[in-house]
């Protein structure tokens, strides 16, 4: 650089013929200016190089950061994936072992079922043989009875069949009557009233006529209910009647009886319903109807709020074939 600077300095010096006229200070001034100029140029170059170096350094730092981020991302992704894959492999291995154990259990159960099926087949064959044996025995007994009693055997058997059929039906009726009240521990009871015209005629003649149901358990109360016809002037109206009886559940239910009762008359064809409700309210005058029955039954009661006009029932088709379809319900 020094040689180049010297060359540059001397390139601008006067011609040889003029150098004699230039003193020493002139050379020094020229040299100083050139040096200052070159220093400024070098400073500019150095500043430019410094900026470029800083830019390159920033780029390198950015690349390093990006490389680190990329490594972290790859490590996180593929490292987690590897761990997850290993976990899945472990789970799959455990599931395969469990399935293998279940397969052995199922195979064992199938073997047991095969043995049981074979046993059932043997027992079925034995049972079939026993049935055939019993059938043959019955035939032998019948032949022996025929030989002993002669032609009257068939008549005797027919009589015995009728006799025992009546006994069985009587027993079934008794059991049904004993069990039905307990089995009917619901909130509704439906029945058909027959002889509608006769009931209405008796009401016209006697003033009141009631068709009562059997005793039924409704909400654990033993109740009988009915539809009563009452002559009121020239009109015959129908009302809900009910009566409480001493029952098996009386120790476990609330007394007095203060429930809302609903009577519905159902149209036999359209199934449309007419509803009337009556609220059992305890007062001094109603105690004999609503208190707990002791030693029998309470007095029967009726609700004026459950009035049905009999003429309207007939006109609107609720009466059909001299019958009315009713549903009684004990509400809360």
How confident is the model at residue 121, as a pLDDT? 62
Q: How far is CA 318 from CA 62, 93, 197, in A?
A: 96, 74, 13
Percent of the chain residues past pLDDT 90, beyond the cut: 43
Which is more confidently placed, 58 or 2?
58
Phi and psi torsions of 32, nearest 5°? -65, -40
pLDDT at 287 over 70: yes
pLDDT at 178 over 60: no
Q: What is the mean pLDDT of residues 271-282?
A: 96
- Tens digit of each residue's pLDDT (9 = 90 or more) over 209-241: 999 999 999 999 999 999 999 999 999 999 999
Q: How far is CA 13 from CA 7, 22, 24, 33, 39, in A?
A: 10, 9, 12, 13, 20
Which residues, at least 6 apart from 185, have a Cβ–Cβ distance to it below 8 Å?
217, 218, 219, 220, 249
**SS3 sequence of 264-301:** EEECCCCCCEEEEEEECCCCHHHHHHHCCCCCCECCCE
How confident is the model at residue 152, as a pLDDT? 66
pLDDT at 192 over 90: yes
How confident is the model at residue 7, as a pLDDT? 41
pTM of the model: 0.46
- Tens digit of each residue's pLDDT (9 = 90 or more) over 305-326: 999 999 999 999 999 999 999 9
Specify whether the CB–CB gap between 146 and 153 falls below 8 A.
yes
How confident is the model at residue 37, as a pLDDT? 79
User: Which of the listed ranges 78-82, 108-112, 306-310 does the model predict with the highest average pLDDT?
Assistant: 306-310
How confident is the model at residue 92, as a pLDDT? 67
Name the average pLDDT for the chain: 78
- Tens digit of each residue's pLDDT (9 = 90 or more) over 18-39: 554 555 566 667 767 777 777 7
How confident is the model at residue 318, as a pLDDT? 98
Specify whether the CB–CB gap between 263 and 254 falls below 8 A.
no
The SS3 of residue 271 is coil
Which is more confidently placed, 264 or 108?
264
Q: Retrieve residue 235's tokens.
A: 């009109």
Q: Retrieve residue 133's tokens.
A: 């044996």
């Amino acid at each position: 650089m020094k040689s180049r600077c010297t060359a540059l300095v001397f390139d601008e010096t006067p011609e040889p013929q003029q150098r004699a006229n230039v003193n020493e200070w002139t050379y020094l001034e020229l040299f100083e200016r050139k040096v200052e100029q070159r220093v400024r140029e070098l400073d500019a170059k150095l500043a430019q190089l410094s900026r470029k170096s800083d830019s390159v350094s920033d780029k390198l730092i950015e690349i390093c950061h990006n490389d680190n981020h990329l490594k972290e991302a790859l490590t996180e992704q593929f490292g987690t994936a590897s761990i997850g894959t290993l976990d899945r492999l472990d789970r799959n291995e455990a599931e395969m072992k469990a399935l293998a154990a279940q397969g052995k259990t199922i195979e064992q159960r199938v073997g047991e079922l095969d043995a049981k099926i074979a046993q059932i087949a043997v027992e079925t064959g034995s049972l079939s043989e026993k049935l055939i044996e019993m059938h043959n025995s019955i035939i032998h007994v019948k032949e022996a009875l025929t030989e002993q009693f002669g032609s009257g055997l068939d008549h005797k058997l027919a009589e015995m069949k009728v006799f025992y059929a009546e006994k069985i039906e009587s027993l079934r009726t008794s059991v049904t009557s004993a069990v039905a009240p307990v089995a009917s521990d619901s909130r509704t009871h439906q029945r058909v009233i027959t002889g509608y015209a006769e009931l209405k005629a008796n009401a016209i003649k006697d003033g009141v006529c009631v068709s009562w149901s059997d005793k039924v358990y409704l909400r654990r109360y033993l109740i009988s209910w009915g539809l009563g016809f009452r002559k009121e002037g020239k009109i015959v109206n129908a009302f809900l009647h009910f009566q409480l009886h001493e029952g098996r559940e009386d120790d476990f239910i609330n007394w007095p009886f203060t429930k809302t009762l609903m009577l519905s008359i159902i149209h036999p064809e359209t199934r449309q319903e007419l509803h009337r409700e009556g609220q059992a309210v305890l007062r001094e005058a109603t105690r004999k109807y609503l208190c707990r029955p002791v030693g029998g039954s309470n007095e029967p009661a009726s609700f004026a709020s459950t009035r049905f006009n009999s003429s309207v029932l007939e006109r609107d088709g609720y009466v059909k074939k001299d019958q009315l379809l009713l549903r009684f319900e004990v509400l809360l």
